[in-house]
Amino acid sequence: MTRNTPHRPTRGPVSKYDPENFPREAKFLAARGATQAEIAECFGISYRQFKVWLTQYPELYQAVQEGNDAFTPRVERALAERAIGYDYTWEEEEINPVTGQPRTVIKRKHFPPDTKAGIFWLTNRMPDKWRRVQKHEVEVKRRSSDEILRDIYTRIQDLQAKGYLQSVVVPALPMRKRDGHG
């Protein structure tokens, strides 16, 4: 029996792009959160080949984008719920210990707010107000060396007047020649 008989299909990497199925399948996978590498793996091709197909076949690229666009709101909703906390309710079948009969029991679980999810949500939704590194603009007035020296002498004299610097002698400010006029 040879390998390629009708009874036994060959298995191996997909070598041909299927315009009928691949865009639909890629959109389905992306909408459920699959990465491009995972989609390539499902198609039986390398990630590199998948990237080539994305540039060669606009319908495939569009399908992946639409799938991602469908998945993103689900993640946003889940993150928002995690940030503020939520309750999860489900039904479960149990055996009544007294009668031995099955019964439906409603169960609930509370998930408290997650501080990290809240911080992440706020820093991304309101970056000007909640960014981790605050931007402060400081207006700097440039001063000449004479002005800086005068301020230093003034501070030293203030400290001497308050009794902090008794042994420091402050020399008089030197006179600077300006524009050649003494």
Please give the pLDDT value at position 175: 62
pLDDT surpassing 70 at residue 142: yes
**Whether pTM exceeds 0.85:** no
Segment holding 54, helix H or strand E: helix 47-56
Tokens standing for 10?
């060959």
Residues 33 and 71 sit within 8 Å (Cβ to Cβ): yes
Please give the pLDDT value at position 179: 55
Does 123 or 49 have the greater pLDDT score? 49
Please give the pLDDT value at position 127: 81
Please give the pLDDT value at position 174: 64
Does 177 or 148 have the greater pLDDT score? 148
Q: Which domains are delineated in the chain?
A: 12-74 (1.10.10)
CA distance 119 to 127: 11
CA 131 to chain centroid, in Å, comes to: 12
Map residue 102 onto helix, strand or coil.
strand
Residues 123 and 129 sit within 8 Å (Cβ to Cβ): no
Please state the rounded mean pLDDT for residues 61-81. 88
Helices (H), 97-168: 115-125, 127-130, 145-161
Express each pLDDT in 10-41 by its tens digit: 454 556 899 999 999 999 999 988 999 999 99
